[in-house]
Copies of this chain bind each other. A is one copy, B any other.
């Protein structure tokens, strides 16, 4: 029986470790089909999806992304650097090869509210993948130009995120989230919704 949106959203967590179990392309296409139904600025539908199964291409994408990450990790400081360290994150992105399938999400830069529209559609994708028992993480490379070139994407499109998709082999719990009362107010900023 299908789960409710709240159940899917609550259960869902980001995954960076994938089992080698193959992914059914149809499941991914259904999730992308849901995304194509999302609203967008002036209905321009600025999203494009490049599904990457070819292992050589996944290796090239990983190498391109890691080149940019190394640069970031060598230079990052402050709160974000601390967060990366605490989370045990590094410039290595093995999940880009370990996940059996990647979806590169591209954005038509010329569209109205392009970024807003693309990410709203990514929200649809995440829930649709969760519904099928598939996991992912919205991985945005520090330097998006390198993988863009590795993938031979035409001018006018930006890489917004790469979704590695597969079955989770990760045992980390979900990141803790603020309670609704902390982020939602009624009529006046700061006024409790009193649930």
Contacts and interface: CB of A to CB of B under 8 A. Distances in A.
A51 B187 contact: yes
A146 to B, nearest CB: 16
Given A131-B4, A188-B152, A189-B154, A124 B9 contact: yes
B189 A152 contact: yes
Interface stretch (A36-44, A63-71, A90-98, A164-172): A36-44
Interface in A24-63: 29-39, 42-43, 45, 47-54, 57
Interface string A132-172: 00000110100000000001111000001100000000000
Given A2-B3, A119-B123, A123-B119, A187 B38 contact: no
Interface string A109-144: 000110111111111101110010000011010000
Interface residues of A, number: 77
Number of copies: 2
A131 B180 contact: no
A3 to B, nearest CB: 6
A45 B34 CA distance: 24
Contacts of A117: 119
Given A9-B128, A38-B126, 15 more contacts: A1-B2, A5-B5, A5-B124, A6-B33, A10-B37, A12-B37, A36-B179, A51-B187, A57-B187, A80-B112, A116-B140, A127-B127, A151-B189, A152-B188, A152-B189
12 contacts: A9-B38, A10-B34, A33-B180, A36-B183, A48-B184, A48-B189, A50-B184, A53-B186, A80-B112, A115-B116, A119-B120, A120-B123
Closest 8 CB pairs of A and B: A123-B123, A119-B119, A9-B37, A9-B34, A5-B128, A2-B2, A49-B184, A120-B123
